[in-house]
Amino acid sequence: MTQDTEKKSGDTNEKRNATIKSYRQRFQTYDRLPEAGRDREDILAEMQEMASLEEARWREGYASGSVYNGDQEHIDFLNRAYAINSQSNPLHTDLWPSAIKFESEIVSMTAKMLGADKSGAEAGTPEEICGVVSSGGSESIQLAMKSYRDYARDKKGNTEPEMIVPITAHAAFDKASQYFGIKILHIPVADDYRADVAATEKAITDNTIVIVGSAPPFPHGLIDPIEELSELARARGIGFHTDACLGGFVLPWAEKLGYDVPPFDFRLPGVTSMSADTHKFGYAAKGTSVVLYRGHELRHYQYFTTTEWPGGLYCSPSFAGSRPGALSAACWAAMVSIGEQGYMDATRRILEAAAKIKKGIADIPELQVIGDPLFVVAFESKEMDIYKIMDAMTERGWSLNGLYKPACVHLCTTLRHTQPGVAERLIEDLKASVAYVKANPSAQGRLAPIYGMANTLPDRGVIADMLRNYMDGWYRL
């Protein structure tokens, strides 16, 4: 790392950490337990003040993704469901059988939504679509990759497992590679930004345990060719995972509404596992997702059991032992209160808002929408620094996602963006931001330097070090 690069990364981290540490001067900081406990009402009042400072941007639709419902009546309902079940722990099934009811029904409802009832696998058969509730999409993905690794080691003697993953797939697959010692082969995307089928086929080896496709991937929102990819896997006896963490609770309803949605779920015989986030467009509280498998055998490789511990027989279906059963209860409450018609209506509103946003962006000459996404709208600029435009949008209150390969920005459309005037405000602010950057080409904002540097530096270790230092800053008082 050059001194100049080191200084730039240090300055940028300092700016970013200053933003997330903005409460230092406003509220008391604790580096150790207070000698005497504080008054509970004072604590709650302080928390409410922080929440009030933070909520305006997401509530008014300035955030990409992040808060997928946000309706206050819905929030209050979930909070009540959580409070009723606040002491529940699914680890202790004898004390809280309600937690087992909630989680088994969450899995079943999600599986049916994703083609289980049309997959030819019926309840009680070896290929029954089954699954587990996890803490989020990253855990769902990691659980599935661990299961494939252990299955291949046990059944095929594979001690050098490999997974084939498009470069646009979620970073959780790279995390699984690091955590579980699975070699990850990143394949390119084709000109349409969807996973390259030919490159995938070429990457398959005797050590391949799973191929991955996304519906859709986070960056550009363009659904991978799941049917072709999963057939490659099926023909060779390899697992195939559809990551529908983002789209799992949108695409089934979009299809019913008449949108062109390519097949992506268990109706395809080559799909052997899926992930879908209930805490995104399932409108549950943050902290739940579902991982699904074609058959109990594969799911068994996810489970942990021990029979020799002096503490007794012990088992857990996911990484955690004790878990907040209240989150599963609130998730179940969200799903059954919304129902198919509610999800259909929410999806219709989101897709209509996304269409309006896509057209508005396409009408700005300096910006280009990438592909024809349904609800995750990525856009680039051939003639301007897109990260400077993103910075100008940040100054106007927006929280958009900066992306690489190519340099672009996206907005994940949610119910927050279906509110009257939000789509129009986004387009007007984009026009103003483009005009500002054109008039001030040398202006440097908070994020443009770090994104620009990260997009061009060949030494990725420098960027990794910068991110580690940034995370260190989270835990500094």
Which pLDDT tens digit goes with each residue over 239-270? 999 999 999 999 999 999 999 999 999 999 99
Give dist(CA 292, CA 95) in Å, integer: 26
β-bridge mates for residue 376, sequence order = 412
Maximum pairwise Cα distance, the chain: 71
User: Would you state the pLDDT for residue 120?
Assistant: 72
Helix or strand run (H / E) with residue 213: strand 208-214
Predicted model pTM:
0.92
Do the Cβ atoms of 283 and 69 come closer than 8 Å? yes
User: Would you state the pLDDT for residue 458?
Assistant: 65
Reported as a single tens digit per residue, the pLDDT across 135-175 is 999 999 999 999 999 999 999 999 999 999 999 999 999 99
Do the Cβ atoms of 302 and 143 come closer than 8 Å? yes
User: Would you state the pLDDT for residue 193?
Assistant: 97
User: Would you state the pLDDT for residue 449?
Assistant: 53
User: Would you state the pLDDT for residue 453?
Assistant: 57
Helix or strand run (H / E) with residue 241: strand 239-243
User: Would you state the pLDDT for residue 455?
Assistant: 63
User: Would you state the pLDDT for residue 24?
Assistant: 76
User: Would you state the pLDDT for residue 405?
Assistant: 86
- Straight-line distance from the first to the last Cα atom of the chain, in angstroms, rounded to the nearest whole number: 27
Which residues of the chain fall short of a pLDDT of 70?
1-20, 122-126, 445-458
Q: Output the DSSP codes for 362-413.
A: HTSTT-EE-S--SSEEEEE-SSS-HHHHHHHHHHTT-BPEEETTTTEEEEE-
